[in-house]
Amino acid sequence: MKTEAEPIIPTGVPDLLPGVAALRQEGYRLVAISTTTLGEQFQVDYSFDRAFSFRTLRLLVSSETPLPSITGIYWAAFPYENEMHDLFGLTVTGIAVDFKGTFIKTSIQYPFGVTTVKPGDEP
């Protein structure tokens, strides 16, 4: 069974749009934006692929940090960015198709925004 090399490139918020634009220029496809709650912080991964070469730009942000939308570069990012807001409570500014919190309907607000079981506290 083959596995992939998956480089992760740490990125700051100011470098996000230039980094994404460079990948677009190189012909990469947006694969996914994934958010992970790490205590008080959020790990936001922007993953791309070109001819089965997979790479990820990684941000570490707090819930107060507004993130710029990448829909100006990859229009197809709008479902991911709405999901980041609806499930995690992250603020993404300038989404091309902004549902303003109604894309994924949840019974509680931002259900993934907190870790209910802290690492190391498992039963």
Binding footprint of other proteins on the chain (CB under 8 A): 1-4, 6, 29-32, 34-38, 45, 47, 52, 54, 56, 74-76, 78-79, 86, 97, 99, 102-106, 111-112, 115-117, 119-120, 122
- What is the C-alpha separation between 10 and 77, in angstroms, rounded? 20
CB nearer to other proteins: pick between 18 and 29: 29
CB of 107 to other proteins, least distance (A): 9
CB nearer to other proteins: pick between 9 and 104: 104
- What is the C-alpha separation between 75 and 20, in angstroms, rounded? 12
CB of 58 to other proteins, least distance (A): 10
**One-letter identity of residue 92:** V
CB 36 within 8 A of CB 61: no
* DSSP helix/strand/coil, 36: strand
